[in-house]
Amino acid sequence: DTAVSQTPKYLVTQMGNDKSIKCEQNLGHDTMYWYKQDSKKFLKIMFSYNNKELIINETVPNRFSPKSPDKAHLNLHINSLELGDSAVYFCASSQVGVQPQHFGDGTRLSIL
């Protein structure tokens, strides 16, 4: 059973399009996260949600909008995609508080 699953695994699209990435966790965790890993493998947090409430918004452009319909899901919608958005996006989850995070396998977004 996959603990944190993301779809799609690959996303290739044109500049200016709008796209969404979905994330689901079956670990019963209260907190979920989105991270971005750039071409140099640097991994940086974008957002975190605790039980559907936004906790961290790490100065990400407002073209990125996370949405958490329930505590097991955290989706990422990106408007007006730009070349610089090309990266691997990881979803993660944890129990509330300072707890180990479990990562999905990532979504590789490529902007043409």
* C-beta neighbour count of 6 within 10 angstroms: 23
Is 48 a binding residue for another protein by CB under 8 A? The answer is yes
C-alpha pair distances (Å), 59 with each of 9, 10, 21, 27, 95? 25, 25, 19, 28, 24
User: In the set 16, 20, 44, 63, which binds another protein (CB under 8 A)?
Assistant: 44
Site string for another protein, 4-43 (x = CB under 8 A): x--------------------------x-x-x----xxxx
HSE at residue 100, side-chain half, CA atoms within 13 A, is: 2
Q: Which one, 15 or 55, has the nearer CB to another protein? A: 55
Q: Which one, 57 or 80, has the nearer CB to another protein? A: 57
Q: Which one, 7 or 79, has the nearer CB to another protein? A: 7
